[in-house]
């Protein structure tokens, strides 16, 4: 077995403090623990070099992402064109180790036949990106930002067939796997989202608040919180805690007008763990039925009851572990019920059995099989 593997990451995957980089970092850690020698290549923009990665990798290289507006003139989507790098390509050509590309973002490398010959080049598909960007555009309120996202969605739609050149694609959910097969990708395997949770630690008993957590500067998450506050908690006696990175000013203003809603701004890992574990209900909502939300896995491994809408669990196979409610009336009713229902040790045992395939060390088996 060849123990060397190049991983090309769309961003520096440390600190692992939001879904995309969590997926990269914890998969990387699992592969390293499986005795692969990782040669990591990271694009940098907004996140500095991370010495913590060197403990897991044989070597770590950093490349500047080109954020010049001129990249918008490229026929390729900006997420791809801004990551074209000659130094990276030259370094990869020095050997024939397998390559794992993290996301469509890094797939300009699939255009180069000299990189593909005599080696295995794989892609981790974090989403069906054209669908993801189209939905982002529809949820964006700022007109110029919406136009940009819609343009990139169209470019991504034209560009995505490049994935057919990969030896294998690793989809994050079964729904995405089916979508990639329909796109014409020849070998698509399921590798669920990377995360740090290795056992169910949900506590038996009952908490006294509901929690929504996520990156609070993202339009999708902002809309979810606004909907929950306005439609579920505005006339409720139950407390809602909203926690996450960089909350938008509009969210801060909305929370101030609701005494039963509080905001925790950018909690560290320990604080977030406590919030998830102590909540009676982890409540999650999305308008994006794409991919696998890492925060859903976080809630199921570490929290008590999980209340979601249908898009949050679409194609994940995890709907039976959650209470699913789509209308405001249904969600209010289920919230009232769950706030009065103890989470038991038996609930935790049943959940642990179902979540075993989603533990990252188990989920990366298809990658190890292909590398070997």
Dist CA 358 CA 363 (whole Å): 6
Give the residue, 288 or 336, on which the prediction is more confident.
336
Give residue 73's pLDDT: 87
Give the pLDDT mean for 137-159.
Answer: 89
Sign of the Cα torsion 277, 296, 217, 139 reads: negative
Give the pLDDT mean for 95-109.
Answer: 97
Dist CA 225 CA 156 (whole Å): 28
- pLDDT band at residue 135 under the 50/70/90 scheme: confident
Give residue 322's pLDDT: 97
Give the pLDDT mean for 99-106.
Answer: 97
| pLDDT at 316 > cutoff 80 | yes
- pLDDT band at residue 2 under the 50/70/90 scheme: low
| pLDDT at 363 > cutoff 80 | yes
Give the residue, 71 or 166, on which the prediction is more confident.
166
- pLDDT band at residue 291 under the 50/70/90 scheme: low
All residues at 6 or more sequence positions from 372 whose CB lies less than 8 Å from its CB, including other chains: 1, 2
Give residue 175's pLDDT: 87
Domains delineated in the chain: 4-196+358-371 (3.40.50.2000), 210-343 (3.40.50.2000)
pLDDT tens digit string along 234-276?
989 999 999 999 999 999 999 999 999 999 999 998 999 999 9
Give the residue, 18 or 2, on which the prediction is more confident.
18
Q: What percent of the chain has pLDDT over 70?
A: 99
Query: How many C-beta atoms lie closer than 10 Å to residue 70's C-beta?
Result: 8
Structure tokens at 22: 């969590």
Q: What separation, in Å, do the N-terminal and C-terminal C-alpha atoms of the chain show?
A: 5
Answer for the pair 156, 130: CB distance below 8 angstroms, yes or no: yes
Structure tokens at 125: 């598909």
The candidate with the shortest Cα–Cα distance to 126, out of 187, 80, 73, 169, is 169
Burial annotation 180-208 (CB, 10 A radius, 16+ → b, else e): beebebeebbbbbbbbbbeebebeeeebe
- pLDDT band at residue 294 under the 50/70/90 scheme: confident
Chain position carrying tokens 């964006």: 140
Give residue 137's pLDDT: 86
Give residue 18's pLDDT: 83
pLDDT tens digit string along 207-237?
999 999 998 988 889 999 999 999 999 989 9
Structure tokens at 74: 């490229």
Helix, strand, coil proportions of the chain in percent (round to 5)? 50, 15, 35
CA 271 vs. chain centroid, Å, equals: 20
Give the pLDDT mean for 154-161.
Answer: 96
Answer for the pair 95, 58: CB distance below 8 angstroms, yes or no: no
The candidate with the shortest Cα–Cα distance to 287, out of 214, 215, 220, is 220
The candidate with the shortest Cα–Cα distance to 122, out of 172, 167, 88, 83, is 167
Distances, alpha carbon 198 to alpha carbons 91, 180, 365, in Å: 35, 28, 15
The candidate with the shortest Cα–Cα distance to 46, out of 182, 217, 189, is 217
| pLDDT at 108 > cutoff 90 | yes
């Amino acid at each position: 077995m060849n123990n060397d593997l190049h991983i090309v990451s769309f961003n520096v995957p440390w600190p692992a403090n939001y879904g995309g980089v969590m997926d990269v970092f914890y998969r990387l850690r699992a592969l390293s623990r499986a005795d692969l020698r990782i040669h990591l290549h990271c694009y940098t923009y907004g996140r500095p070099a991370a010495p913590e990665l060197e403990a897991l990798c044989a070597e770590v290289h950093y490349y500047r992402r080109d954020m010049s507006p001129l990249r918008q003139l490229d026929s390729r989507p900006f997420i791809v064109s801004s990551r074209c790098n000659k130094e990276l390509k030259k370094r990869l050509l020095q050997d024939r180790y397998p390559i794992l590309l993290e996301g469509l973002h890094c797939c300009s490398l699939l255009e180069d036949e000299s990189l593909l010959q005599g080696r295995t080049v794989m892609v981790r598909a974090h989403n069906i990106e054209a669908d993801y960007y189209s939905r982002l555009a529809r949820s964006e309120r700022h007109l110029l930002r919406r136009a940009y996202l819609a343009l990139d969605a169209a470019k991504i739609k034209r560009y995505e067939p490049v994935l057919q050149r990969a030896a294998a694609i690793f989809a994050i959910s079964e729904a995405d796997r089916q979508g990639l097969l329909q796109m014409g990708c020849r070998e698509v395997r399921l590798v669920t989202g990377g995360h740090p949770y290795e056992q169910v630690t949900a506590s038996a008993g009952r908490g006294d608040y509901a929690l929504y957590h996520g990156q609070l500067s993202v339009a999708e998450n902002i809309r979810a919180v606004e909907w929950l506050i306005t439609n579920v908690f505005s006339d409720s006696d139950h407390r809602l805690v909203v926690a996450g990175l960089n909350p938008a000013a509009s969210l801060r203003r909305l929370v101030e007008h609701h005494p039963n809603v509080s905001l925790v701004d950018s909690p560290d890992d320990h604080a977030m763990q406590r919030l998830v574990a102590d909540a009676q209900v982890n409540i999650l909502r999305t308008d994006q039925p794409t991919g696998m939300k890492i925060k859903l896995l976080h809630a199921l491994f570490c929290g008590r009851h999980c209340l979601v809408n249908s898009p949050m669990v679409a194609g994940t196979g995890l709907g039976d572990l959650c209470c699913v409610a789509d209308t405001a009336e249904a969600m209010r009713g289920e919230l009232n019920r769950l706030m009065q229902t103890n989470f038991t040790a038996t609930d935790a045992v049943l959940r642990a059995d179902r979540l075993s395939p989603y533990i990252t060390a188990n989920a990366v088996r298809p990658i190890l099989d292909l590398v070997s």
